[in-house]
């Protein structure tokens, strides 16, 4: 906590020095969403380059003055929370003054900018993420406050822990982990007792684009158990992008890549090539929208696709057909096809890429 307080004090000292010299104070932050500030490596994924381009948030510029003020406001709130050892969610911060902040997105972006600027993880700033993720299967652990969590009991679902760094005594006999894109598919697999039917496993869902805690948790489990991790996503550009976030990270959070990415993750399904192999009727598939085409074109240019020839081939199949499919399309073959045929065959015979 002393490091956090010192880092904030250094920023404020810089503001005072500028004022003492009759200069307009400026905050300097990295351009987090600029691909030119990111490099790709097989071992880590997308990570911010050491000397990235910066942008100035000026106090004397009409376009950035309000953002400058909001950054100082949130820095002061973080300082007080660290001093008093209290915590708040991003939503809590937004609701302290909704009119001042304007929107939740503004608060979210400023907090990430501050985390990047100070080079301190969000959790150490005493800001908690809103938790969306669920976990189930062969896993038990103890939370920071001593609460014992046992996910192994039948079809019990637990939310991903709010303080991933604080969990300890992790125990699992799982043979693999399965990351499921959607909550509905996750629940269906639980109902079918998938976690125990074939071999013990851990199942996780971020319910779409994963929040920070879910990504931290996947990484923690990988560090702890070193078991294979597979993803089950819709066969569409959105599903592929979500998988890439787990595997290689995102541009906006590339400054924290070392804690968030798991480059060993495998794409189990739903593969575009599976649709033809399984003779899925074209009436069950969904035509691409313009947004889908744009997203796919963007994915095909990403640096990590070049080192994944099999992935590249699957994206080419998708681009040629201009059709997408949800995981639920497998129910057109039979109601239990996903859990009793598709996944067991894939896992047994190596149907992943």
Mean pLDDT across the chain: 89
Which residue is listed with tokens 């693999």?
A: 176
Mean pLDDT computed over 73-95: 91
Pick the catalytic residue: 79, 87, 94, 95? 95
Select from 1.10.630.10, 3.40.50.720, 3.90.79.10, 3.40.1360.10 the CATH code of 134-349.
Answer: 3.40.1360.10
Q: What does the alpha-carbon distance between residue 78 and residue 19 come to, in Å, rounded to a whole number?
A: 23
Identify the helix (H) or strand (E) that includes residue 247.
helix 237-248
Mean pLDDT computed over 320-332: 89
Length of the chain: 353
User: Is pLDDT above 70 for 154?
Assistant: no
pLDDT at 252: 81
Q: Respond yes or no: is residue 342 known to be catalytic.
A: no
CA 205 to each of CA 65, 109, 230, 231, 281: distance values in angstroms, whole numbers, following the listed order: 40, 24, 12, 10, 28
User: Is pLDDT above 90 for 144?
Assistant: no
> Do residues 326 and 234 touch, judged by C-beta distance below 8 A?
yes
Does 2 or 156 have the greater pLDDT score? 2
Task: Note the pLDDT tens digit of each residue in 257-302.
Answer: 888 899 999 999 899 999 888 888 888 888 999 999 999 999 998 8
> Do residues 139 and 171 touch, judged by C-beta distance below 8 A?
yes
Choose the weakest-confidence range: 33-47, 63-77, 131-145, 312-326: 33-47
At residue 233 the predicted structure's pLDDT band, cuts being 50, 70 and 90, is: very high
Q: What does the alpha-carbon distance between residue 207 and residue 255 come to, in Å, rounded to a whole number?
A: 24
Q: What is the DSSP letter of 343?
A: H
User: Is pLDDT above 70 for 121?
Assistant: yes
**CATH tag, 2-128:** 1.10.10.10
Mean pLDDT computed over 160-171: 88
**Two tokens at 28?**
């300097």
**What is the CB-side half-sphere exposure of residue 232 using CA atoms within 13 A?**
26
> Do residues 89 and 95 touch, judged by C-beta distance below 8 A?
no
Percent of the chain beyond pLDDT 70? 99
pLDDT at 214: 92
Task: Note the pLDDT tens digit of each residue in 2-59.
Answer: 889 999 999 999 999 999 999 999 998 888 888 888 888 888 888 888 888 888 888 8
CA 272 to each of CA 145, 253, 303: distance values in angstroms, whole numbers, following the listed order: 44, 28, 21
At residue 307 the predicted structure's pLDDT band, cuts being 50, 70 and 90, is: confident
Domain edges within the chain: 2-128, 134-349
**What is the CB-side half-sphere exposure of residue 298 using CA atoms within 13 A?**
12
User: Is pLDDT above 90 for 313?
Assistant: yes
User: Which residues, including other chains, have CB under 8 Å from residue 45's CB and lie 6 or more apart?
Assistant: 247, 248, 249, 257, 261, 263, 304
**Two tokens at 21?**
């010299």
Mean pLDDT computed over 218-238: 94
């Amino acid at each position: 906590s002393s490091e956090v307080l010192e880092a904030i004090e250094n920023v404020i000292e810089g503001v005072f020095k500028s004022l003492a010299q009759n200069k307009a104070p400026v905050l300097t932050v990295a351009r987090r969403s600029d691909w030119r500030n990111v490099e790709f490596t097989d071992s880590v994924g997308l990570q911010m380059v050491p000397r990235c381009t910066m942008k100035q948030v000026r106090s004397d510029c009409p376009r950035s003055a309000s953002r400058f003020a909001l950054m100082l406001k949130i820095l002061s709130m973080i300082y007080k929370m660290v001093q008093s050892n209290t915590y708040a969610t991003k939503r809590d911060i937004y609701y302290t003054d909704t009119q001042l902040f304007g929107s939740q997105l503004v608060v979210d972006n400023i907090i990430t900018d501050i985390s990047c600027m100070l080079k301190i993880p969000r959790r150490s700033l005493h800001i908690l993420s809103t938790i969306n993720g669920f976990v189930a299967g062969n896993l038990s652990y103890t939370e920071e406050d001593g609460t014992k969590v046992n996910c192994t009991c039948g079809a019990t679902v637990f939310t991903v822990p709010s303080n991933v760094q604080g969990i300890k005594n992790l125990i699992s006999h799982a043979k693999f982990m399965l990351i499921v894109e959607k909550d509905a598919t996750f629940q269906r697999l639980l109902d079918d007792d998938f976690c125990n039917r074939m071999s013990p496993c851990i199942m996780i869902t971020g319910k779409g684009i994963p929040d920070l805690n879910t990504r931290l948790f996947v990484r923690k489990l990988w560090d702890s158990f070193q078991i294979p991790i597979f993803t089950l996503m819709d066969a569409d550009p959105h599903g592929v992008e979500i998988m890439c976030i787990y595997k290689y990270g995102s541009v906006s959070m590339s400054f924290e890549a070392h804690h968030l990415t798991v480059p060993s993750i495998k794409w189990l399904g739903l593969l575009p090539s599976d649709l033809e192999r399984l003779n899925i009727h074209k009436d069950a598939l969904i035509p691409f929208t313009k947004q889908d085409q744009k997203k796919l074109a963007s994915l095909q240019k990403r640096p990590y696709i070049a080192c994944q020839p099999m992935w590249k081939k699957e994206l080419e199949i998708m681009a040629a057909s201009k059709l997408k499919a949800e995981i639920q399309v497998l129910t057109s073959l039979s109601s239990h096809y996903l859990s009793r045929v598709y996944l067991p065959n894939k896992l047994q015979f190596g149907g992943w890429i």
